[in-house]
Structure 1
Amino acid sequence: MHPPAAPESQDAPRPLIALVGATATGKSDLAIALAEHLDGEVINADALQFYRGMDIGTAKVTAEERRGVPHHLLDVLEVTEEASVSAYQADARAAIAAIRSRGRTPILVGGSGLYVRAALDEIEFPPTDPAVRARLEQRVAEIGPAALHRELAGRDPEAAAMIGPGDARRIVRALEVGELTGRPFTAFLPRPVHADPSTVQIGLRRDRAELHERIALRVHRMVEAGLLDEIRALRERGLDRGLTARRAIGYQQGLAVLDGTLTCEAAIEETIVGTRRLVRKQDTWFRRDARVHWLDADTNTSLRHDLLPRALSLVDTARQEHAREGRAAPGETGVTAPGTPAP
């Protein structure tokens, strides 16, 4: 039996909860526990978990591990397809609205920073035109990025000031956006403003040494669980043609093992090192966001008796702050920790 969710006004929207942080910190387990307590549904924000069949190597929660909690935006792409941040934004926000329409709590969980921001923040994605981009890229090839950068400085000095004269890709994109929209490139840069004022971001972090141990253990368990067999099966479905999927940590190394260019032991070590490198990038990304409320966990931390009550307390506090600021819907009530009576 799970403790009942806290009472809620019929007209009050459920908060939008986002669980973020580095890989292997335990976000998925906490998300499921929150969903069970708050009558919630989970929305995936891990870009590699979009891919069907990439299960073991992405630590995708199994049907059994989900314990009946609905999960959204898992297994939505083939390994030959490419993910789109703008498409994800639309899909994630549609999922959030649908979950709320059922009177339930949306819980976004993942470590792909740009996708998290696309779902949560006021970000507008400018259009693109392959013909315009191809023409600009041809001009880069003919006259060099510095010359195009001077053009950008004349049209959009603010964008030129933040883009280096050798950064051909961003120079082309800034010029493309200006040509297609008539607006400066900087008008489309993300702002740290939640599109939904009820949003609560909770970050989960662990001591780096402990996290490194968890990563090594996880990789070894993935191999024991049949990661190479998974990669072999995905290869038959076109993994080698997937620009993103084939380069994913663990999958790139597994393909090399199957090709005979890397030993299994070397692949395991490369995967561990690559995952640790990813963790550092994720930490840097999320620590820059002052809106994240951090929870520290270690080997002695109990999910049910420690992390979950603290997470629920953060949600409750944030909702009370929104109410005081006049941004929350009238009549909202708080959530309470397991076993704690509502006031």
Structure 2
Amino acid sequence: MMKNSNGVHYNPTKKKKVLFILGATATGKSRLSIDIATHFPAQIINSDKIQVYKGFDIVTNKMHESQRRGVPHHLLGFISNPDADFTVHEFCHYVETTINDITQHGCIPIITGGSNSYIKALVEDSDINFRSKYDCCFLWVDVSLPVLFEYIGRRVDQMVEDGLVEEIREMFKPGADYSRGIRRAIGIPELEKYFLVEKKLNEDLGGDYKEALLRVAIEETKINTCKLVFRQLEKIHRMKNELSWEMHRIETTAVIEKYGKERTEELWNKLVLKPSLEIMDRFLKRD
């Protein structure tokens, strides 16, 4: 039996513990991962294939460094070429290397992000044999769809207010390939028509038309984000039902519904964080 830097005992001969936090976009995965990592010795590995790119923090919805509360994050904003592809094979290689580094320091890896096809490949690939090496726990952060879709609309509006359009304008390139690199991020292809018109029309002559195009682009961003939610949930249900992954479902609907109102923090701690910490505690104690 050994101790890590926080004085927590662990057995290096047993399977290494790995926590996965799954869920659709905007359900609270990032916040929960940080909260858990402040209660247990843990570090976070990003599994969002868009957040691996450097910069463009608004469009990729990265948590600001001040929100990470000193918790080390890996595979986050480390690819500087916006047109580079980050393949499933590369993801799996980086994750295994990072897990080894994290566990050698006596910490628990928390893998979180919305790219469920990457997570499925990591866990199920017969060449990796992930489950033979690691003891896995899966938390599924879930929100009722009507509440989530309304929240996504408000969140996109907030992103626009925070400078989404200006951030995307800086990287706009007519005729760019939107099937690769960071340009796959929702919001970037949707704004292409607006930027093309913006370059051609004088403000006095085309102001109303440009404004209308911008509103359409923002609405398309909201719609396509909701479509992404369906795809993400479809993959989670497949992993749960067809692949028999044992998932602990954490309901965050009540918190998301009251986001920005009173008692949100209290609700989060009671309905989300407390049960998650209890699950994590049982997971770490089991042989």
TM-score range, shorter chain: 0.7 to 0.9
- The residue number in structure 2 matching 1:167 is none
Alignment partners' CA distance in 1, 2:282 and 2:55: 39
Q: Aligned-pair distance for 1:42?
A: 0.6
- The residue number in structure 2 matching 1:84 is 87
Larger-gyration structure (1/2)? 1
Contact 1:57–1:222 (CA<8 Å) still a contact in 2?
yes
- Provide the secondary structure at the position in 1 that maps to 2:239: coil
Alignment partners' CA distance in 1, 2:276 and 2:16: 15
1:113 maps to which of 116, 138, 146:
116
- Residue range with higher mean Cα deviation, 10-19 or 46-55: 10-19
Change (3 A) 1:36 1:29: same
* Residues 1:304 and 2:269 aligned together: yes
Q: Aligned-pair distance for 1:124?
A: 3.2
- The residue number in structure 1 matching 2:107 is 104
Contact 1:33–1:304 (CA<8 Å) still a contact in 2?
no
- Provide the secondary structure at the position in 2 that maps to 1:299: helix
**Quick one: percent identity of the two aligned structures?**
30
- The residue number in structure 2 matching 1:60 is 62
Partner deviation per Cα, 1:39-62 (whole Å, 9 max, x = no partner): 211100011111122310121111
Q: RMSD value over aligned CA atoms? A: 2.6
Alignment partners' CA distance in 2, 1:209 and 1:313: 28
**TM-score between both structures, scaled by the size of structure 1:** 0.67
- The residue number in structure 2 matching 1:212 is 149
* Residues 1:282 and 2:232 aligned together: yes
Runs of 4+ in 1 over 6 A off after TM superposition: none
2:74 maps to which of 72, 75, 85:
72
Q: Aligned-pair distance for 1:229?
A: 1.3
Partner deviation per Cα, 1:247-269 (whole Å, 9 max, x = no partner): 32111112332112871110111
Alignment partners' CA distance in 2, 1:294 and 1:116: 17
- The residue number in structure 1 matching 2:250 is 295
Matches within 5 A, 1:113-192: 113-124=116-127
Matches within 5 A, 1:176-255: 194-235=131-172, 240-241=176-177, 243-244=179-180, 245-255=182-192
Residue-pair matches, total: 252
Unaligned runs of 5+ in 2: 1-5, 199-209, 256-263
* Residues 1:256 and 2:193 aligned together: yes
Change (3 A) 1:6 1:266: farther
Change (3 A) 1:9 1:53: closer
**TM-score between both structures, scaled by the size of structure 2:** 0.80
Alignment partners' CA distance in 2, 1:267 and 1:229: 14
- Provide the secondary structure at the position in 1 that maps to 2:50: helix
- What letter matches 1:266 in structure 2? V
Unaligned runs of 5+ in 1: 126-190, 324-343
